[in-house]
């Protein structure tokens, strides 16, 4: 009979095997990174363009160019594109980020031909019709107006602006004022410059020999530039001179709090150590901030600390929403927890739980072909190899109380942190 009073045995995760990407090239030089994995008959197709926010000539161009790719081509209207995607039970996702813009399509593997046929039209023959652009601009204008009234969204935007500067690509957000200045000509010019060349393709899932042949058929004849464009450099951040920024919202019962600081990219030798410290501080449900501010104080339903990375830098941000009257107390408790990390050694039990959580989370994050594709991007975009994950796991397993204290002292200096509060201090 099963004895439920005795927990099951377990072992420390020492190594994780990854299905690695293989890279081949189309006849015109376009790289195709392939992760053949999984037992389900599904296929993920992702195009990465050097067309992120840092490449745009004016605010909003990268966002609208990417979104408009599915709003009409020389052969299909927006409605026809949407119906075509639905016909095959596929899913299309378009995204513009600071460094890259991406076009992703997920479909059954047997529909690879019609999927790639559509994608070839979006990449090579998008026409940016004025009617659909006007509709998209109107929708986005209304959405921004609504979102800018939400304290949590506004706080996140202002935190990035405080850390990097409102005009810096990593701190800039789309504004209502920028939308009227977006026109078809600007989008089409950006499209020709940034989307028709130098893109890369990632395939994941059930990949057959015919899949690469189809890629050659639809994309191998796209003419590539004789001279490659130079990678765009974002320049130095221009942070806000204030350490505390308060945006009063008298009608709000809550305050949204963001506390953050600029850090570094995944290439940094101490990145894995900082990830461990951040997870202990606020990176999972059993973290210090959750136990203190949610469980003990009852100030919030949730608080978290996370690290975001770009190609040229990164940042840490702590975020929560609390009743206004708890705003200052919450800020005090955040700094108390950081100070505690620097002064007091973490207990063996807490460290053991943290390591098991982080190693288990890493293992569970590679259980699908699409997750493996994300893992590949995490290293490829930073010029790293798969040994990055080996080092990351080794760092988790070998971090001790002294290492956590030293890392917290070195990188979590509270005097370099920026605070953003949307709502009020009391």
d(CA 148, CA 155): 9
Q: What is the mean pLDDT of residues 399-422?
A: 96
Please tell me the distance from the alpha carbon of residue 322 to that of residue 391, in angstroms, as a whole number. 38
Q: Which of 6-15, 37-46, 250-259, 318-327 has the lowest mean pLDDT?
A: 6-15
Mean pLDDT on 10-28: 85
For the ranges 4-18, 245-259, 305-319, which has the lowest average pLDDT?
Answer: 4-18
Q: What number is the average pLDDT over the span 260-276?
A: 96
The CB-side HSE value for 193 (13 A sphere, CA atoms) comes to 17
Do the beta carbons of residue 215 and residue 32 sit within 8 Å?
Answer: yes
Please state, in angstroms and rounded to a whole number, the distance separating the CA atoms of residues 17 and 375: 12
What tokens does 388 get? 């990055």
Break the chain into its structural domains and give their ranges. Answer: 22-219, 244-423
- Beta strand ranges found along 194-333 (DSSP E): 200-205, 244-248, 254-262, 303-309, 314-323
pTM given for the model:
0.91
Stretch 13-37: mean pLDDT? 90
Q: Where do we find the tokens 């989370």?
A: 361
Provide the greatest CA pair distance for the chain.
Answer: 73
d(CA 12, CA 397): 8
Element (DSSP H or E) covering residue 288: helix 288-289
Q: Quickly tell me which residue has 């067309």 as its tokens.
A: 51
Q: What's residue 7's pLDDT?
A: 73
Q: How confident is the model at residue 68 (pLDDT cuts 50, 70, 90)?
A: very high
For 111-137, b/e burial (b = at least 16 CB within 10 A) is bbebbbebbbbbbbebbbbeebbeebb
- Establish whether domains 22-219 and 244-423 are of one fold: yes
Handedness of CA 32, 38, 43, 49 (dihedral sign): negative
Q: What is the C-alpha to C-alpha distance for residues 256 and 301, in angstroms, rounded to an integer?
A: 12
Distance of CA 90 to the CA centre of its chain: 23
Residue 346: DSSP 8-state? P
Residue 305 near residue 316, CB atoms below 8 Å: yes
What pLDDT sits at residue 17? 83
Average pLDDT of the chain?
Answer: 93
Instruction: Give the pLDDT confidence of 44-54 residue by residue, as tens digits.
Output: 999 999 999 99
Residue with tokens 């002294």: 402
β-pairing, 314-323 vs 418-423, is unpaired
pLDDT in tens, 231-256: 667 778 889 999 999 999 999 999 99
3-state secondary structure of 324: helix
Mean pLDDT of 183-199: 90
Q: Residue 57 carries which DSSP code? A: S
Q: Collect all residues with Cβ–Cβ distance below 8 Å to 398 and sequence separation of at least 6.
A: none
Q: Which residues of 283-297 are buried (b: 16+ CB within 10 A; e: fewer)?
A: bbeebbbbebbbeee
- The CATH number of 244-423 is 3.30.830.10
332-365 burial code (b ≥16 CB/10 A, e <16): ebbeebbeebbeeebeeeebeebbebbbeebeee
Q: Is the pLDDT of residue 347 over 60?
A: yes
Average pLDDT for 129-143: 97
* Distance between CA atoms of residues 329 and 381, nearest Å: 40
* Tens-digit pLDDT profile for residues 387-398: 999 999 999 999
> Which candidate, 82, 58, 45, 97, places its Cα nearest to that of 381?
97
State which H helix or E strand residue 422 sits in: strand 418-423
Pair 92, 105: CB distance under 8 Å: yes
CATH class of segment(s) 22-219: alpha beta
- Helical (H) or strand (E) element with 35: strand 31-36
- For residue 150, what are its two tokens? 């939400």
Which residues have CB under 8 Å from 237's CB, separation 6+?
163, 164, 165, 168, 170, 171, 262, 313
Query: Are residues 67 and 117 in contact, defined by beta-carbon separation less than 8 angstroms?
Result: no
What is the C-alpha separation between 322 and 254, in angstroms, rounded? 5
């Amino acid at each position: 009979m099963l004895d439920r009073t005795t927990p099951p045995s377990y072992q420390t995760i020492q190594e994780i095997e990854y299905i690695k990407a293989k890279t081949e090239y189309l006849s015109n030089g376009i790289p195709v990174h392939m992760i053949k994995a999984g037992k389900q008959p599904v296929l993920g197709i992702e195009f990465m363009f050097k067309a992120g926010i840092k490449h745009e000539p004016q605010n909003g161009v990268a966002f609208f160019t990417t979104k408009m790719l599915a709003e009409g081509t020389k052969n299909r209207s927006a409605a026809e594109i949407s119906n075509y995607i639905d016909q095959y039970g596929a899913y299309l996702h378009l995204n513009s980020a600071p460094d890259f813009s991406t076009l992703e399509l997920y479909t059954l593997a047997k529909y690879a031909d019609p999927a790639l046929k559509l994608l070839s039209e979006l990449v090579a023959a998008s026409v940016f019709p004025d009617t659909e652009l006007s509709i998209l601009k109107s929708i986005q204008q209304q959405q921004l107006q609504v979102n800018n009234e939400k304290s949590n969204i506004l706080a996140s935007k202002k935190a990035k602006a405080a850390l990097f500067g409102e005009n810096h690509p990593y701190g800039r957000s789309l504004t209502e004022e920028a939308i009227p200045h977006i026109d078809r000509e600007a989008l089409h010019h950006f499209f020709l410059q940034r989307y028709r060349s130098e893109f890369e393709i990632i395939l994941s899932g059930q990949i057959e020999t015919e899949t690469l042949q189809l890629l050659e058929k639809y994309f191998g004849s796209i003419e590539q530039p004789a001279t490659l464009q130079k990678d765009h450099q974002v320049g130095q951040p221009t942070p806000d001179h204030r350490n505390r920024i308060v945006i009063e919202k008298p009608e709000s019962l809550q305050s949204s709090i963001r506390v953050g600081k600029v850090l570094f990219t995944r290439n940094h030798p101490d990145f894995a150590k900082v990830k461990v410290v951040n997870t202990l501080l606020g990176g999972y449900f059993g973290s210090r901030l959750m136990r203190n501010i949610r469980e003990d104080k009852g100030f919030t339903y949730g608080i978290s600390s996370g690290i975001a990375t770009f190609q040229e830098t990164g940042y840490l941000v702590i975020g929560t929403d609390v009743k206004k009257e708890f705003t200052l107390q919450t800020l005090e408790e955040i700094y108390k927890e950081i100070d505690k990390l620097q002064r007091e050694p973490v207990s063996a039990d807490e460290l053991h739980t943290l390591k098991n959580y982080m190693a288990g989370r890493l293992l569970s994050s590679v259980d699908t072909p699409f997750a493996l594709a994300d893992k590949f991007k995490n290293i490829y975009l930073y010029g790293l190899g798969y040994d990055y994950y080996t080092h990351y796991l080794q760092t988790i397993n070998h971090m001790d109380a002294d290492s956590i204290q030293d890392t917290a002292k070195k990188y979590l200096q509270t005097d370099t942190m920026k605070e953003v509060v949307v709502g009020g201090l009391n």
